[in-house]
Amino acid sequence: MEFIFDCHNYSDAKKVKLAVIEFTDYAIVWWDKLVLSRRRDGERSVETWREMKALMRKRFVPSHYYRDLYQKLQRLMQDSKCVEDYYKEMEMAMVRADVNKIEKQPWHDFSMG
């Protein structure tokens, strides 16, 4: 979705709607329930892509996700890989683990060296 949004100048409301039309199975059931619950409780609707991403992360990304990715990154070894392949794998792991966010987590080990 981010790639599509980067190519177009969509409003936040349109970004939310475009994301919703991509939902299938449990995701659409979850979204419908969320919308109805917010409406019933007098809460405002989800208006921004940032807010929607936060809600999706809260519901669908396990709390240990970034920690597990970070630990995988720490265990990454070159072994028999060429330097270029090792670098690519390490870079992908760093992007997935969102290393900037990791540094803010309470379980981050600052003693690594």
44-98 pLDDT, tens digit per residue, is: 988 888 888 888 888 887 777 767 777 777 777 777 777 777 777 777 777 776 6
Whether the pTM exceeds 0.85: the reply is: no
Q: Give the angle subtended at the CA of 33 by the CAs of 12 and 96, to the nearest 5°.
A: 55
d(CA 20, CA 56): 11
| CB contact at 8 A, 108 and 102 | yes
**Helical pair 49-60 and 25-40, crossing angle rounded to 10 deg:** 120
Query: If you ran DSSP here, which 8-state letter would residue 61 be given?
Result: S
Q: How many residues does the chain have?
A: 113
Answer whether residue 17 shows pLDDT above 70: yes
Determine the 3-state secondary structure of 45 from DSSP: coil
